Amino acid sequence: MASSDFTSIPIIDLSKVNSPGSKVELLKDLRHALISVGFLYVSNHGVPESITRGLVDGLPQLFSLDDDKKKEVALENSPQFLGYSGTGAETTAGNVDKREQFEFATELVDDWTEGKPLSERLKGPNQWPESYPGLRPIVETYISALTKLSEDFLHIVAEALALPPTTLLSFLSDQHRLKLVHYPALTSGAGQGVGPHKDSSGWWTFLLQASPPHIKGLQVLNKSGHWIDVPNIPGTFVVNIGQGFEVVTNGVCKATTHRVLSGVDERFSVPFFQGMRRNLTKTEAVGTLKEHFEGEKFGNGGGDESEEGRQVDSAFLRGKYDTWGETQLRTKIRSHRDVGRKFYGNVLEKYVSDD
Ligand SMILES: O=C(O)CCC(=O)C(=O)O
Ligand SMILES: [Fe+2]
């Protein structure tokens, strides 16, 4: 094992930002987590317990709706790829993921018209299940709270990386995405809840583990290739780096590979994907902070990564398309070809056969 390799996930107490003495310690711990781990918990984050509780308590009711009620808000209806997708609709690392999910986003108007970049069509309204009218205020309140937390967090991250506090805000999107996820119980043994991946859809991910702490499942790959458990610690969010942030930091802060193993207990989770602006070009993403992150203070950076981690595709950096938005659209169309066929017929063939 590499001498600096991690075997557990650091907990960052965000209340330490409030006093100068403890802030120094916070920034040092955060910097280590960002450069050497890529995953962390945040505690004392300021999101009221009533907001997370409202969401957690609603999940069993939502997922126990009849199939035909879920299908009324099927993701296939939505050019924004927002809505319900059932178990078996997704594959990761070549295997089928055993999970069902509702995807929501910051509520926006679809004002795309012919001539605008196609990726602007990712912006649009949510589909709210009519048979659970109480869900909308719960989800909207939660998205607002996480939007605020994730923006505040970017200020602290910038400071931990020796940047002016507002530096990272210029990369933000007007749209953040939220998934409500249910991993059904397996009748025997363990199986793939979601396969090994790096988060490609956001710039940072804030995950609420929404089942009791004895229900495990989330694991992170360390640099020597061992899977490390990320148990649910009540009152915290798990925070991890997305592929966009890795690009912007010149690889100093790595998007760490993770997976979910399902077992005999069902499990719920809620990832919030803080969005990167769709018109961000590869040149801007790579170039804006390049000099800063090439500097000596990041000498060794997070450099090393396990072989399995290296294999995980970075669609933005290696892909053919110049903007973050187009890369996102391509990824979405490739994962949901039926939506591609219905709304993006002109580019479907190009995106599915360009590698
Ligand atoms: O369910 C979890 O704990 C993690 C989910 C995840 O990694 C994802 O959806 O990207
Ligand atoms: Fe993930």
Domains and CATH numbers, the chain: 11-322 (2.60.120.330)
Q: According to the model, what pLDDT value does residue 5 have?
A: 86
**Which residues, at least 6 apart from 1, have a Cβ–Cβ distance to it below 8 Å?**
222, 224, 226
User: Which residue among 81, 98, 233, 258 has the greatest number of ligand 1 atoms within 8 angstroms of its CB, and so is best to mutate?
Assistant: 258
Most informative mutation of 192, 194, 238 for ligand 1 (most atoms within 8 A of CB) = 194
242 lines ligand 1 (CB under 6 A): no
The answer to whether residues 200 and 332 touch, using CB atoms and an 8 Å cutoff, is: no
* Structure confidence at residue 301 (pLDDT): 47
Q: Render pLDDT for 37-74 as a digit per residue (tens, 0 to 9).
A: 999 999 999 999 999 999 999 999 999 999 999 999 99
Pairing of strands 39-43, 11-13: parallel
From CA 108, how far away is CA 125, in angstroms rounded?
5
CB neighbours of 114 closer than 8 A, spacing ≥ 6? none
Q: How far is the CA of 197 from the centre of ligand 2 (A)?
A: 6
Atom of ligand 1 nearest to the CA of 259: 7
Q: Whose CA is nearest to atom 1 of ligand 1?
A: 269
Asked whether the beta carbons of 32 and 10 are under 8 A apart, the reply is: yes
Per-residue burial over 42-64, b if 16 or more Cβ lie within 10 Å, else e, is beebebeeeebebbbebbeebbe
**Ligand 1 proximity of 218 Cβ (cutoff 6 Å):** yes
Q: Is the CB of 326 under 6 A from ligand 1?
A: no
ipTM of the complex: 0.99
Q: What are the pLDDT digits (tens) for 21-45?
A: 999 999 999 999 999 999 999 999 9
DSSP state of 17: G
148-193 confidence digits (pLDDT tens): 999 999 999 999 999 999 999 999 999 999 999 999 999 888 899 9
Please enumerate in sequence order all residues whose Cβ is within 8 A of that of 40, keeping only pairs 6 or more positions apart, or say none: 9, 10, 11, 12, 30, 33, 34, 238, 239, 240
Kindly state if the Cβ of 239 falls inside 6 Å of ligand 1: no
Query: Cβ distance 81 to 336 under 8 Å?
Result: yes
The separation between the first and the last C-alpha atoms of the chain, rounded to the nearest angstrom, is 34
Pocket flag, ligand 1, residue 269 (CB < 6 Å) = yes
pLDDT of residue 268: 98
**Global pTM value:** 0.95
Q: Verify whether ligand 1 is closer than 6 Å to residue 103 (CB atom).
A: no
Q: Is there an atom of ligand 1 within 6 Å of 220 CB?
A: no
pLDDT tens digits for range 320-332: 899 999 999 999 9
